[in-house]
A and B are shown apart, each in its own frame.
Chain A
Amino acid sequence: MEKERKRKPDERFKIANREAVIGVALAVFNFVWWFAFAYGLGGRTPDNYSYVFGLPAWFFYSCVLGFIIMALLVIFVVKFWFVEVPFDEEEGEQT
Chain B
Amino acid sequence: MNTPVVISLFIFLVLIFAIGFWSSRSLKNATGDSFLQEYFLGGRQLGGFILAMTMIATYGSASSFIGGPGVAYTEGFGWVLLSMSQVATGYFVLMILGKKFAIMARRYKAVTLIDYLKGRYQSKWVVLTAAFSIIIFLFSAMAAQWVGGARLIESLTGLNYTTALFIFAVSVLVYVIIGGFKAVALTDTVQGVVMFGGTLILLIATIIAGGGIGNIMADLTAENPNLVTPYGAEGGTESDLRIFLLDTCRCRSCWFTTSNRSCDGL
With a CB–CB cut-off of 8 A, which chain A residues contact B158?
A: none
With a CB–CB cut-off of 8 A, which chain A residues contact B214?
A: 51, 54
The total of chain A residues at the interface (CB under 8 A) is 40
**In the assembled complex, B99 has its CB within 8 A of some CB on chain A:** yes
Give the one of B81, B213, B266 with max A CB within 10 A: B81
Bitwise, B76-95 to A at CB < 8 A (1) or not (0) is 01001100110110011011
* Chain A residue with Cβ nearest B94: A23
With a CB–CB cut-off of 8 A, which chain B residues contact A55?
A: 213, 217
A50 to chain B, nearest CB (A): 12
Bitwise, B229-261 to A at CB < 8 A (1) or not (0) is 111000000000000000000000000000000
With a CB–CB cut-off of 8 A, which chain B residues contact A56?
A: 77, 217, 228
Give the one of A10, A39, A59, A70 with max B CB within 10 A: A59
- List residues of A whose CB falls within 8 A of some B CB: 10, 12-13, 15-16, 19-20, 22-24, 26-27, 30-31, 34, 38-39, 42-43, 45-47, 49, 51, 53-56, 58-59, 62-63, 66-67, 70, 74, 85, 87-89
B230→A66 contact, CB < 8 A: no
B88→A30 contact, CB < 8 A: yes
**In the assembled complex, B131 has its CB within 8 A of some CB on chain A:** no
State the CA gap A67–B91 with chains docked (Å).
12
Which of B103, B216, B225 is within 8 Å of A46, CB to CB?
A: B225
With a CB–CB cut-off of 8 A, which chain A residues contact B91?
A: 23, 26-27, 70, 74
